[in-house]
Structure formats: C-alpha cells, structure tokens
Amino acid sequence: MKYTPWLFTLNANAQGLVFMIMDVVYSFASKLKYRREIFELSDGGELALDWVVHPTDEANSASSQTVQRPIIVFVPGISGDSSILYCKSMAYTCLEKNFDMVVVNYRGMAQVPLKTAKVYNSADYKDLSEVIEYLYAEHCLTKTTDGKPDKQTRRLFGVGVSMGSSVLGIYAAELGEKSRLDACVGVGCHFDMNLAFAYLTTNLFGFYDYVIGIGLALSAAPIYEQYDRLVAKKHPELV
C-alpha cells in the first residue's frame, strides 16, 4: 500500500497544525468504539488494553470469539492513549482492512490508576513484552489434541508511534528471534534524542516544545501525583 501525503501536509509544520485541528474534530465526530480489558502486570501494576470493536462483532457478540483476524498491537506516543487522533486513524484503517487492533495504554494512562511506584519511559519494554506474551498465548494459539505444541492460527503485528516506536523497537531488538511479533513498524521514531529535543525547542520559536509540554502537564501530572503518594507510603523515610 503506497503512502501519498495529503496536499495540505507536505511539511512537518503543516502536519502538526492539521493534526491539532483534526484531533478536536475526531473527538466529537468519531463513532469508534473500544472494548476495555484491564491487564495485570507481574509486579502488581495495571494497564488498559483497548480493543477496537468491529461493527459486525457489535451486532453479533459471539462472532468476536470465532473470527480469527490478524491482530495489530498499537503502542502510542509519550502523552497518547487510545483517544488520540493517530490511534483512531489507525483503528479505522484496521476496520477497513479487516484487522483486529488493540491499543496498549501505558501505566497510569487512560484513566487507569497507578498501582505501583513505577511509571513508563521510552527505554522500558518489559510491560509491552508481558502484554505481547499474553496476546500471543491467549489470542493467537489454538490448542492441539494430538499432544503436539499449540499451533499459531492468528498473526500478530506491532505498530508504534513516536515514543511508542522506541519501546517497540527496543522490544524487537532485545528479543530478536524470540519475539512473538510477525513484523513491526515504527512511525516517527527518535533515533537521535538530542537532535529531536533540539528541533522541538527551536523550531517555530519553541512552539512544539510548548504544546507537548501542555499535553504532558495534562496527562502525566496526575500520574506523578499518584507516584509520589505510592513512594511516600512505601518509603516514608524519603519524604
């Protein structure tokens, strides 16, 4: 499938402006529905897995248990979750191409309370690895009756955006041939962090730095308030 940029998004600044406008439009106009699953991590933490609901599955709830579509594991950016525009845009493409899609929201994001004194970052792939192992075992394997190993009957793909592409890329690099993903794609991955930060703080007089800062303040500030309370409870001597 060949990518053709939209006429009004031929450069990064135009893309950023259109993204902010369309994000607001989609938040009101989108009819996309998710089915939420709370996933418990090995250390007691929790995160939300948001499954895109196919219209056919919604009409016939039993079909979602029998249809064996390929699964897209979607990992959002630093302040993103399943409600952000690029997640919804990818979800509509998955519906069109008859794929299942699940958004892996980070710890403390998407209205899920932080349960442990650990927050997400771009170098930590362990949470994602646990989720992928669960998805592979629970949704991609069919048990055999002849004593042979379970057979993979659904393909599993990964897509990451911005910081999510970094997390996904580290997962793929660390696990290598042991990765459960049949393929993965990173969109807008920051290969050089210093260069990326320099661009954000200087381009358009620091406009992007300001906008991302506001986004993080709105999304991440509540997480760190919960984090501070958890640390104070576990290590009162540090307060």
- Of the two residues 237 and 120, the one the predictor is more confident about is 120
Average pLDDT over residues 4-11: 69
CA 238 to chain centre: 33
Nearest one of 219, 199, 222, 218 to 209, comparing CA atoms: 199
Nearest one of 99, 202, 233, 109 to 159, comparing CA atoms: 99
Beta strands in 18-67 (DSSP E): 34-40, 46-52
Percent over 70 (pLDDT), the chain: 89
Report the alpha-carbon angle 141-146-151, nearest 5: 20
Which of helix, strand or coil describes residue 86? helix
- Of the two residues 76 and 65, the one the predictor is more confident about is 76
Q: Given this model, what pLDDT does residue 239 score?
A: 58
CA dihedral in degrees (161, 167, 171, 174; nearest 10)? 130
C-alpha span between 133 and 50 (Å, rounded): 16
In this structure, whether the domain defined by 14-55+69-238 belongs to CATH 1.10.238 is answered with: no
Tell me: the pLDDT tens digits for 188-207?
887 777 887 787 788 778 77
Residues with Cβ within 8 Å of 160's Cβ and at least 6 positions away in sequence, in order, are 74, 75, 166, 167, 168, 169, 184, 185, 186, 187, 189
pLDDT at 218 over 90: no
Domain ranges for the chain, please list them. Answer: 14-55+69-238
Tell me: the pLDDT tens digits for 110-149?
889 989 888 888 889 999 999 999 999 999 998 877 777 7
